[in-house]
Amino acid sequence: MIIYPAIDVRGGRVVRLSEGKFDREKSYSGDSLAVAKGFALAGATWLHVVDLDGAKDPARRQTALMESLARESGLKVQTGGGIRDEAQIEALLAAGAQRVIIGSLAAKQPELVRRWLKKFGAERIILSPDVQFDANGTPRVAAAGWQEDTGLALDDFLNGYLAGGLVHVLCTDINRDGKLTGPNTALYTSLVKKFPSLQIQASGGVSSLDDLSALQATGAAGAIVGRALYEKKFTLREALAC
């Protein structure tokens, strides 16, 4: 299982949002490149970066910063945040990103995103369904910064992309994001079992090394770790060793 230390960037600062809410922000550093280089020194190979400014307003996308992180940190970068058109994908890949994360658009415009998968290749695109659970316990995909319920069941969402060659999926349990309450291991165990051809990345709730061990036991291909590192619940070296 690959550990993906996470950097959420707003105005060049490293921050974390609780449940994706911009009014629930905590700032950790003013130098995102220094943070990324620290992750590389600790032994990480990948970096997960969310451009919060770009997510709110495409005109404010921090592409130059993404290029700096991709080319100077020593890490492979997967990045996204409000990707809305093909030109944004091309710009991020040209800037050195290894993968571009597609979120809401994958649920709202699947035909378009399937064309992107074909054009750029399955190794360059990662879909990021963020889910909430309905009254029956069914995970359903949210969109628009988690403010919109698409009504689309997660299983149906993923099945709609399998024939298009989808490989990488980053799934976030919204209710656990940024809360240090532990990951939803049942969700990832189920996804790995139902979709063995997919490389599933788990996101939301990691608070301890035991959480990482539990995620590894689910068969997840990767785990996003953010706030737990910044709050010093454990070190990245410890996480990688675990």
Q: What is the pLDDT of residue 168?
A: 98
Backbone angles phi, psi at 40, to 5 degrees: -65, -45
Q: What is the pLDDT of residue 58?
A: 81
Which one of 48-57, 63-72, 175-184 scores highest in mean pLDDT?
Answer: 63-72
Distance CA 198, CA 69 (A): 27
For residues 126-155, average pLDDT: 87
Residue entry with tokens 């369904």: 129
Q: What is the pLDDT of residue 118?
A: 97
70, pLDDT greater than 80: yes
The count of structural domains within the chain is: 1
pLDDT band for 180, please (50, 70, 90 cuts). Answer: confident
* Least confident among 108-122, 130-144, 187-201: 130-144
DSSP H helices, the chain, are 32-42, 52-56, 63-72, 86-94, 104-108, 110-120, 154-162, 185-194, 209-218, 227-230, 236-241
Q: What is the pLDDT of residue 193?
A: 98
- Polymer length of the chain: 242
Could you report the per-residue pLDDT of 183-192, keeping only the tens digit for each?
A: 999 999 999 9
pTM across the whole model: 0.93
1, pLDDT greater than 90: yes
111, pLDDT greater than 90: yes
Q: What is the pLDDT of residue 7?
A: 95
Residues identified as active-site: 8, 130
Residue 156 maps to which CATH number?
3.20.20.70
What CA–CA distances, in Å, run from 137 to 47, 126, 132, 190, 226?
A: 32, 25, 9, 13, 26
Give DSSP secondary structure letters for 166-217.
--EEEEEEGGGTTS-S---HHHHHHHHHH-TTSEEEEES---SHHHHHHHHH
* DSSP annotation of 137: S
Could you report the per-residue pLDDT of 220-235, keeping only the tens digit for each?
A: 999 999 999 999 999 9
Q: What is the pLDDT of residue 146?
A: 57
179, pLDDT greater than 90: no
Domain carrying residue 11: 2-241
Other CB atoms within a 10 A radius of the CB of residue 36 amount to: 24
pLDDT band for 66, please (50, 70, 90 cuts). Answer: very high
Task: From 163, 174, 170, select the one nearest 125 (Cα to Cα).
Answer: 170
